[in-house]
Amino acid sequence: MTVRVTRATARRVLEQLRRDRRSLALIVIVPPALLALLRFILDAERPAFQRVAVPLVGMFPLIIMFLITSITMLRERTSGTLERLMSLPLAKLDLIAGYAVAFAFVAAVQTCVTSAVAFGLLGVTVHGSAALVVALAVTNALLGVALGLFLSAFATSEFQAVQFMPAVLLPQILLSGLFVPHDRMPHALRIVADALPLPYAFDALARVATGDEGTRLHLDVAVVLGTILVAVALGATTLRRRTP
């Protein structure tokens, strides 16, 4: 791996994104707006809002970066630029790392804005460290990048790639305890939830929100980091030098 290629790729991805002002605006504005909407929907049930607000702040980057990565990788594959890159002296991990750096940066900006609105205007309280919420959100963004990279190999059109969000991510977010806490779900569903990565990401954020930063939080973070590594490794195998 070379830092030069990673940095060049991150810079190129950010240059492309910078051109797309509308997407940038949506990335920054939509999460805090949705959070504000939820705050007013749950106006009469403040504890319920309080329970899901912090996890949501940290889950937005995962969803958004998953979608953005799926689409950009699919474009690289269909436009021939991936084939060109694969014929150049470039390590696959340089390309992936370049994407990860660029999107992690965008996710950090997104989360800072969302957190400022949540903690400053919407009265969301964090008993643990607010900086840890941002750190977990950026980690989740990387999980989104890794999953998007891997799953984009199974989409042949942007239409399909977009469908992977409700197909792959949404069930996991529902199983995380967005509507019903994890421990009040049927036993069978709890087993399913325990086998999937997103409930761990959600749980980590919920624990930081309540100030419960014990060993279970460490396990949550370990599972998320492990999933990132596995997804990146699987994603790298889908970037082939030779194609049929």
Partner 1 sequence: MSETGPAIVVSGLRVIRGDRLVLRDVDCTIEAGLVTGLLGPSGCGKTTLMRAVVGVQRVAGGAIHIFAVPAGTPELRRRVGYMTQAPSVYGDLTVVENLRYFARVMDRRDRVRDVIELVGLGEYEHSLVRDLSGGERSRASLAVALLGEPDLLVLDEPTVGLDPLLRRELWATFHRLADAGTTLLVSTHVMDEAERCDRLLLMREGNMLAEGTPAELRARTAAPTLEAAFVALTEPR
3 binding partner 1? (CB under 8 A): no
11 binding partner 1? (CB under 8 A): yes
Which phi and psi angles does 43 have, rounded to 5°? -55, -40
Which phi and psi angles does 198 have, rounded to 5°? -60, -35
Nearer to partner 1, 6 or 140 (CB): 6
Instruction: Report d(CA 134, CA 230) in Å as an integer.
Output: 23
242 binding partner 1? (CB under 8 A): yes
Stretch that binds partner 1, among 12-20, 132-140, 181-189, 191-199 (CB under 8 A): 12-20
Instruction: Report d(CA 119, CA 53) in Å as an integer.
Output: 10
- Residues with Cβ within 8 Å of 79's Cβ and at least 6 positions away in sequence, in order, are none
In the three-class reduction of DSSP (H, G, I as helix; E, B as strand; rest coil), residue 211 is classed as coil
Instruction: Report d(CA 123, CA 100) in Å as an integer.
Output: 32
80 binding partner 1? (CB under 8 A): yes
157 binding partner 1? (CB under 8 A): no
Structure tokens belonging to residue 226: 């492990």
| Residue of the chain from 44, 88, 188, 195 that contacts partner 1 (CB under 8 A) | 88
Tell me how many residues contact partner 1 (CB under 8 A): 26
Nearer to partner 1, 120 or 244 (CB): 244
Instruction: Report d(CA 52, CA 177) in Å as an integer.
Output: 8
The C-alpha angle with vertex 31 and arms to 168 and 6, in degrees rounded to 5, equals 70
| Residue of the chain from 81, 125, 157, 163 that contacts partner 1 (CB under 8 A) | 81
**Cα 57 versus chain centre, distance:** 11
- Residues with Cβ within 8 Å of 104's Cβ and at least 6 positions away in sequence, in order, are 138, 141, 142, 145
Cβ(161)–Cβ(71) under 8 Å?
yes
158 binding partner 1? (CB under 8 A): no
| Residue of the chain from 3, 4, 120, 195 that contacts partner 1 (CB under 8 A) | 4
| Residue of the chain from 9, 110, 111, 152 that contacts partner 1 (CB under 8 A) | 9
Stretch that binds partner 1, among 14-22, 156-164, 196-204, 230-238 (CB under 8 A): 14-22
The contact mask relative to partner 1 for 15-54 (x = CB under 8 A, - = no) is xx--xx----------------------------------
93 binding partner 1? (CB under 8 A): no
Residues of the shown chain interacting with partner 1 in the complex, contacts defined by CB under 8 A: 4-5, 7-9, 11-12, 15-16, 19-20, 79-81, 83-90, 241-244
